[in-house]
């Protein structure tokens, strides 16, 4: 974080300052801010956030042991550290993040990029960061820090020399993206796609469209909206952008896009294509597995070329990326038996993309195995969408379908209902039972996809399988 006095932090957060030791209101702090006491570093600021399962106030002592010099609290404690008592720690983080980013922006050349979409946010964030890091100091989220806590914590990592801040904005209800993006008013806003992810929380697909468009509404006038030309729901957001004096920059597979891809070829080692941007062309060999990541790469290139990075520089940097993020199309195991662990998140769209990738990368004499768990936050759409995944797996001729968990059982039922399919589907109530089956079942030449939402916990099953066949 940038250097601020204790008094200034108290004023910005609307809190009451209680100094400890040699501290005075004029004491300056500039350490990193975190809600996890285990991650606090010397000089750090600990945000004692109450939670559903535990209370951050219980861990102030641990934060002090790791070097915390200030705690944001909702009630004063007896711990020997300066404290700012605020009405709400989460709101205080947002207020502090807004202030810090504004200060850095006023005094430097900071460009803020915001990203949202039903799928692909984290991968696109990492691809943009990979390109921009070579241009100057870049701050971007760890993992999927995209909610009301994670996004402000990322913003608070900027310093006066930061040139680029890349923010990922997720949401499970209307209004959340508007609040988060409103903290930084992005110069560039990226909307990747609108699908069924979180549709249950939003109340349907049209409400999801409205929620994702909140990012476009938060872009500062004169900024740029980078929109998916291939998704009609996203393309419709251009009217909102232009009505606010925001430029529209298109990415997609079609000829009308400002940044597009052609000649796409997928294999087990990655995806090759030719990228066209503003009248120039370059070949791209993505090592990140899956054809769907081409669109994420196009979005990243659309952002970077808008900033001034050449297409050749974009593609050469993207080709160094080996993994988008842990548990996202992560190759494990060996060439003998390859495990693809993509079980950090799942929606109907990402599930379909992963299954299609599995079908594309199999070679002669190799077998496709899909280990599938539940998709979360679909609400009333859950039954139909799980049915569709089971049907798609059969239509793609996935040779073994292993469904794990009661919430995913409909995938199994739909698969076995397809009488013309000559493959095999099995169901297990939990990951341990599925693991025992798979260890005995897998054979040389198998290509195994493990895919589910985070809540289903199959990412750990994928890790175990990777270790077992290595």
- As a whole number of angstroms, the distance between CA 354 and CA 416 comes to 21
Question: If we measure between CA atoms, which residue out of 351, 433, 361 comes closest to residue 388?
Answer: 351
Per the CB < 8 A criterion, the answer to whether 451 and 372 are in contact is yes
Phi-psi region of 146 (alpha: psi -120 to 50; beta: other; left: phi over 0): alpha
Please report, for the chain, how many H helices and E strands are present, in that order. 17, 22
Cα gap 275→347, rounded to integer Å? 27
CB atoms within 10 A of CB 103: 17
Report the candidate in 100, 157, 165, 107 with the shortest Cα–Cα distance to residue 136: 165
Token pair for 241: 């952008």
Burial (0-12, 13-18, 19+ Cβ within 10 Å), 379: middle
CB 215 within 8 A of CB 171: no
Would you say 176 and 144 are in contact if contact means Cβ atoms under 8 Å apart? no
126 is in an annotated binding site: no
Q: Which residue has the tokens 């399919």?
A: 421
The answer to whether 347 is a known ligand-binding residue is: no
Q: How many CB atoms lie within 10 A of CB 421?
A: 18
Report whether 123 belongs to an annotated binding site. yes
Write the DSSP string, 400-469: EEEEESGGGHHHHHHHHT-TT--SEEEEESSHHHHHHHHHHH--TTEEEEEE--GGGTHHHHHHHHHHHT
Count of Cβ atoms closer than 10 Å to residue 469 Cβ = 19
For residue 113, what are its two tokens?
């990029």
223 among annotated binding-site residues: no
120 carries a ligand binding annotation: yes
Using DSSP bridges, classify how beta strands 28-29 and 4-5 pair: parallel, antiparallel or unpaired. antiparallel
State which H helix or E strand residue 240 sits in.
Answer: helix 238-243
User: Where do the H-state alpha helices sit in 33-144?
Assistant: 60-65, 89-107, 121-133
Q: Using CA atoms, how far apart are residues 126 and 142, in angstroms rounded to an integer? A: 9
* Binding site listing: 117-123
* Binding site listing for ATP: 117-123
């Amino acid at each position: 974080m940038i250097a601020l006095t204790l008094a200034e932090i108290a004023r910005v957060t609307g809190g009451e300052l209680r100094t400890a030791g040699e501290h005075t209101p004029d004491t300056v702090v500039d350490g990193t801010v975190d809600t996890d006491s285990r991650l606090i570093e010397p000089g750090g600021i600990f945000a004692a956030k109450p939670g559903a399962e535990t209370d951050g106030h219980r861990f102030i002592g641990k934060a002090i042991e790791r070097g915390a010099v200030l705690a944001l609290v909702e009630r004063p404690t007896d711990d020997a550290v300066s404290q700012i008592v605020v009405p709400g720690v989460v709101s205080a983080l947002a207020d502090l993040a807004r202030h810090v980013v504004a200060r850095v922006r006023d005094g430097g050349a900071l460009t803020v990029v915001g990203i949202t979409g039903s799928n692909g946010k984290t991968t696109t964030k990492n691809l943009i960061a990979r390109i921009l890091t070579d241009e100057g100091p870049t701050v971007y989220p760890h993992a999927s820090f995209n909610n009301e806590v994670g996004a402000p914590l990322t913003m608070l990592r900027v310093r006066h020399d930061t040139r680029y801040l890349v923010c990922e904005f997720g949401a499970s209800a209307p209004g959340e993206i508007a609040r988060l993006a409103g903290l930084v008013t992005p110069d560039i806003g990226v909307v990747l796609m609108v699908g069924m992810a979180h549709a249950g929380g939003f109340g349907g697909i049209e409400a999801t469209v409205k929620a994702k468009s909140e990012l476009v509404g938060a872009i500062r006038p004169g900024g740029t909206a980078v929109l998916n030309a291939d998704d009609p729901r996203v393309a419709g957001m251009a009217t909102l952008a232009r009505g606010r004096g925001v430029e529209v920059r298109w990415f997609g597979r079609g000829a009308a896009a400002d940044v597009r891809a052609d000649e796409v070829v997928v294999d087990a080692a990655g995806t090759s294509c030719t990228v066209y941007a503003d009248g120039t062309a370059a070949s791209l060999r993505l090592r990140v597995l899956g054809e769907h990541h081409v669109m994420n790469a196009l979005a990243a290139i659309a952002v970077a070329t808008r900033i001034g990075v050449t297409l050749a520089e974009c593609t050469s940097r993207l080709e160094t990326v080996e993994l988008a993020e842990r548990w996202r199309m992560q190759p494990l195991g060996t060439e003998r038996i390859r495990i693809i662990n993509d079980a950090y998140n799942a929606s109907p769209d990402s599930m379909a993309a992963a299954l299609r990738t599995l079908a594309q990368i199999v070679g002669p004499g190799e077998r496709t195995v899909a280990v599938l768990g539940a998709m979360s936050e679909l609400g009333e759409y859950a039954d139909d969408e799980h049915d569709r995944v089971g049907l798609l797996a059969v239509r793609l001729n996935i040779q073994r379908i292993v469904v794990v968990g009661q919430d995913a059982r409909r995938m199994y039922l739909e698969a076995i209902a397809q009488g013309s399919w000559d493959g095999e589907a099995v169901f297990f109530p939990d990951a341990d039972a599925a693991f025992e089956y798979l260890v005995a079942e897998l054979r040389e030449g198998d290509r195994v996809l493990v895919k589910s939402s985070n809540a289903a916990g199959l990412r750990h099953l994928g890790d175990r399988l990777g270790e077992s066949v290595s």
